[in-house]
Amino acid sequence: MTASNNPFRPGHDDGGKTLAFLVLRGWLAVRAILTGIEKFSAFQTVQKPLIDPVTGMEDPSGALIDVKLKYYSLTNNAGIPAALKDKFANEPLLPKFALSTFDHLLGPALILTGVMLLIGLGTRFSLLAQGLIYIALTAGLILIKQDDGIAWLGIHVALVTFALLLARYNRFALLKKW
């Protein structure tokens, strides 16, 4: 085997590395976009008539049940889950202004970096930005001792790092240099 046809030499791409990068890029993009969109979701409880499962008709007694409906709105923007807000608010190492800023910018930042990554607009920059977001999220979870979340974010950081290593095989991008 000569050096020119050695598939293991640096810079050689048989198409597999390009496809690997595209799959990873797609996954990270979809993950960021949908996670960002979820920051704008909320639940509303609505009362609906109880339906008899046999007849499919409303219960004649007029019984009602509470049903939780999920909806999305710009007014629901909350980067930090309600269940964790008090824990973060009581953490002395997290300044209140930083917490508030992060709470408002997390959703839009994830959506923006995800869309950039999906369309290949500044792929390396958007990967770096996602990596920094995940590092910031990790720091917050370390402070409030959420070890399971820390492990999941560690996997995300590893995936972003791997994508950055494969970025040289990025064949479908609007701005390849960045």
pLDDT single digits (tens) 45-82: 888 888 878 888 887 777 888 889 988 899 888 888 88
- The answer to whether residues 21 and 50 belong to one domain is no
Per the structure, the complete domain to which residue 94 belongs is given by 13-40+77-178
Question: Considering the domain boundaries, does residue 3 fall inside one?
Answer: no
Residue 64 three-state SS: strand
Residue 124 pLDDT > 70: yes
- The answer to whether residues 31 and 49 belong to one domain is no
User: Stretch 162-167: mean pLDDT, rounded?
Assistant: 94
CB 79 within 8 A of CB 36: no
pTM: 0.81
- The answer to whether residues 160 and 92 belong to one domain is yes
Per-residue pLDDT reduced to its tens digit, 17-32: 999 999 999 999 999 9
In sequence order, the 6+-apart residues with CB closer than 8 A to the CB of 114 are 28, 29, 30, 31, 32, 33, 34, 35, 36, 126, 130
Question: Considering the domain boundaries, does residue 157 fall inside one?
Answer: yes
Angle 12-18-19 from CA coordinates, rounded to 5°: 135
SS (H, E, C) 108-148: HHHHHHHHHHHHCCCHHHHHHHHHHHHHHHHHHHHHCCCHH
- The answer to whether residues 22 and 89 belong to one domain is yes
- The answer to whether residues 67 and 122 belong to one domain is no
Name the domain count of the chain. 2
Question: Considering the domain boundaries, does residue 147 fall inside one?
Answer: yes
